[in-house]
Amino acid sequence: MARRAGVALSSVSRVLNDHPDVSENMRSRVLEAIAELGYEPNLLAASLRRGSSRMIGFIVPDLRNPLFGSIVTAAQDGLSQQGYAAVITTSSSDADRDADMARLLRHRQVDALIVSLADQTREDLIEELRRFRGPIVLLDREVDGLEDASIVETDHGSGMEQATRHLLSLGHERVALLTGSLQVRPSAQRVQAFREAYRQSALPYPEDLVRPVGFAPEFGERSTVELLRRPSPPTALIVGSNQLLTGVLRSLRRLGIRPGVDIAVVSCDDVPLSELHNPPITVIDRDVTEIGSSAARLALERLNNPDTPPRRVVLPTTLVLRDSTHSPHG
């Protein structure tokens, strides 16, 4: 920077990073010069020298999904307070792109990674993550061979068991489950809990009604049609995400089947659509903001103290009963 202030570059740097050993006189002289000359720091150069970019890399499947928008926003709140910026990338639920983004972010020297992987079992992707030097926070993923990562997970199982039991107790015998691929923790955990709820009842487990197809709306749309065309269709539907829900409701409308009257519907995560739908949709809810702020906290604690071991935070789910769940006979 301009040495026209009559001071050395190092003094400027010291003032800017408020180093302890700097006189009040020097501080004011530098500050004055900065104001006068319109000095603009170059954080790129500082990052290179410091060996830390103060940037956090995000990889999420889809920013159009308000779930991830909320998570990222909450995480940013915590991170930006400590001077970190967010470099956000999306994978479109494609594990190859996950790997590409991980590499890209590594080369861009982000200090930490907060990621929601498309596939927690892909070896090449895991290897790519393992190459990363710095804290990794996984969002709701269980990755073998990545023991050093912190995890923010949701207890999907408990909500799913509650929901399933609730439907069974209402008299539903054939409940269908639509959720994402089994290559991610939430889906795997839901299917397991769903099966467990059936196991505890006297009813036969409806294997043919479990559809771990993916989280996109189109999957919900197609699966709904397909399920309801069966000779003995389900009388209740559990839907694994707000995105799937839009597809499901679209199909139900087209088929003239009324949620809450002709078929019971439970969704996951409360969004405006589930709350304000007519009838309102019963949901397995959770605190989405907490996911993001926990992720930020876990990242920051290892950033501030590299010796901190990775941690795991588990957030609860709760069943919110609404009018979309009724007994099968009226």
Partner DNA sequence: TTGTATGCGTTATCAC
Partner DNA sequence: GTGATAACGCATACAA
**Residue ranges binding its own copies (CB under 8 A):** 40-45, 47-48, 53, 55, 62-66, 68-70, 72-73, 76, 80, 85-90, 104-109, 131, 242, 245-246, 249-250, 253, 271-273, 275-278
Q: Are 30 and 12 in contact (CB under 8 A)?
A: yes
| Residue 18 binds DNA (CB under 7 A) | no
User: 263 has which bridge partners?
Assistant: 259
Q: How far is the CB of 41 from its own copies (least distance, A)?
A: 5
Judged by beta carbon distances under 5 to 8 A according to partner kind, the member of its own copies, DNA, none in contact with residue 8 is DNA
- Two tokens, residue 308: 């901190």
What are the helix (H) ranges across 229-284? 242-255, 272-276
At residue 177, the 3 state secondary structure works out as: strand
The residues pairing with 265 across neighbouring beta strands, listed in sequence order, are: 237
Q: State the pairing for strand pair 282-285/318-320.
A: antiparallel
Determine the Cα–Cα distance for residues 69 and 116; give it in Å rounded to an integer.
12
Pick what 257 binds: its own copies, DNA, none; C-beta below 5 to 8 Å, kind-dependent: none
The entry of DNA, its own copies, none that residue 90 binds, CB within 5 to 8 Å by partner kind: its own copies
Sole window of 20-28, 65-73, 152-160, 214-222 interacting with DNA (rule: CB under 7 A): 20-28
- Contact between 22 and DNA per CB under 7 A: yes
Which of 136, 215, 158 is CA-nearest to residue 182? 215
- Part in contact with DNA (CB under 7 A); list of ranges 10-18, 127-135, 232-240, 245-253: 10-18
Nearest distance from C-beta of residue 199 to its own copies, angstroms: 34
CB contact at 8 A, 112 and 302: yes
What's the min distance (Å) between Cβ of 105 and DNA? Answer: 15
26 binds, among its own copies, DNA, none (CB under 5 to 8 A by kind): DNA
CA-CA-CA-CA dihedral for 198, 203, 204, 208, to nearest 10: -60
70 with 64: CB under 8 angstroms? no
Binding residues among 28-67 for DNA as defined by CB under 7 A: 39-42, 45-46, 48-51
Please, what is the angle between helix 123-130 and helix 95-107, to 10°?
A: 10
Minimum distance from CB of 264 to its own copies (Å)?
Answer: 16
User: In angstroms, what is the minimal distance from the CB of 271 to its own copies?
Assistant: 8
- In whole angstroms, the minimum distance from the beta carbon of 218 to its own copies comes to 13
CA distance 280 to 266: 10
In the complex with its own copies, the residue whose CB is nearer, 90 or 164, is 90
# residues near DNA by CB under 7 A: 27
3-11, 195-203, 264-272, 318-326 -> range binding DNA (CB under 7 A): 3-11
- Among 4, 11, 197, 296, interactor with DNA by CB under 7 A: 11
Structure-token pair, residue 60: 């999420």
Q: Which residues contact 195 (CB under 8 A, 6 or more apart)?
A: 205
Nearest to 310 by CA among 134, 75, 186, 157: 134
In the complex, the smallest distance separating the C-beta of residue 99 from its own copies, rounded to whole angstroms, is 14
CA–CA separation, 89 vs 178, rounded Å? 27
> 15 or 237: whose CB is closer to DNA?
15
Residues engaged in binding DNA (CB under 7 A): 1, 6-14, 16-17, 21-23, 25-26, 39-42, 45-46, 48-51
